[in-house]
Amino acid sequence: MKSFHKICALQDIPQQGARVVNTSAQAQAIALFRTADDQVFALDDHCPHKGGALSHGLVFGGAVACPLHNFKVDLATGSALAPEQGQVPCHAVEVRDGEVWLAV
Q: Is the omega angle on the peptide bond into residue 83 within 30 degrees of 0, that is, cis? A: yes
Q: How far apart are CA 13 and CA 28, in angstroms?
A: 19
Q: Among 43, 65, 75, 93, which residue sits at the site for other proteins (rule: CB under 8 A)?
A: 65
**Residue 88 C-beta: closest distance to other proteins, Å:** 15
Chain positions 18 to 57 lying near other proteins, rule: CB under 8 A, are 19-25, 29-30, 32, 36-37, 50-53, 56-57
Q: What are the Cα distances from residue 75, in Å, to 1, 24, 51, 91?
A: 24, 23, 16, 10
Chain positions 10 to 69 lying near ligand FES, rule: CB under 6 A, are 47, 49-52, 66, 68-69
